[in-house]
Chains A and B, each alone.
Chain A
């Protein structure tokens, strides 16, 4: 692996990777792209935030993404694609209200899907993004 071409990033303050075989982000110097792993409502200690409260979880997810973006010199306006996975869509409007606050400047392309499960049973939402630096 060429360390100039590809840099791994696990910034302090982001929740740790669940297992050691992935990192939170990979920066590609050649394309100036940032791929962010799916983020869930874990705090910096890996503890679930907002059990049973999907909006609180979404706030934590976006905060985690923000931490990772900033550690790589990016902001939410630099996101070009977001994919949102939820276990339940009944709170879609409340999620939309929250997303308007985070994605107000330069809205990215977006996909949202309802899935049968996330990586741990307490989790209600997962969000991944690709950013351009």
Chain B
């Protein structure tokens, strides 16, 4: 069997990457999605101070990346959630339920000292399977 092809994805509707990376990379039937954060098309933080609104934007972006690769939240294998304040996890979790429904990914959650732009409260990266 030949080696899978590496395919870089740039997803419509996501903010431009902040540095030398792309929105997602596909390798065979695996998809690696870069950390999604609530950055608007203008490069500014969406909903400063509102972690629930930021989490919705994050999951909208993640959903767009999944859809662009032909997959969805039900096929997410692993997420890593980064919070500037771990006390926000309950609010983020409510949003997560809205998007994941009954699908349960493996998950790690950590509190971090800072995210890429001042004012960001939550970032989520994901690895997903792509159904054949």
Contact = CB atoms under 8 A, between A and B. Distances in A.
Given A28-B129, A31-B28, A31-B29, A117 B110 contact: yes
Interface residues of B, number: 32
Contacts of A130: 78
Residue with the greatest number of chain A CB neighbours at <10 A, chosen from B100, B105, B106, B129: B106
Given A28-B129, A35-B106, A126-B108, A1 B86 contact: no
Contacts of B132: 30
Interface in B16-47: 28-30
Contacts of A8: 104
Interface in A1-41: 1-2, 5-6, 8, 17, 19-26, 28, 30-31, 33, 35-38
A128 B108 contact: yes
Contacts, number: 87
A31 B30 contact: yes
Contact of A6 (B77, B89, B110): B77
Interface string A104-133: 000000000001111100000010101000
Interface string A60-83: 000000000000000000000001
A22 B112 contact: no
Contacts of A28: 77, 129
Contacts of A6: 75, 77, 129
Given A1-B75, A26-B78, A31-B28, A115 B100 contact: no
Interface of B: 28-30, 74-75, 77-80, 84-86, 89, 93, 96-97, 100, 103-113, 127, 129, 131-132
Interface of A: 1-2, 5-6, 8, 17, 19-26, 28, 30-31, 33, 35-38, 83, 85, 115-119, 126, 128, 130
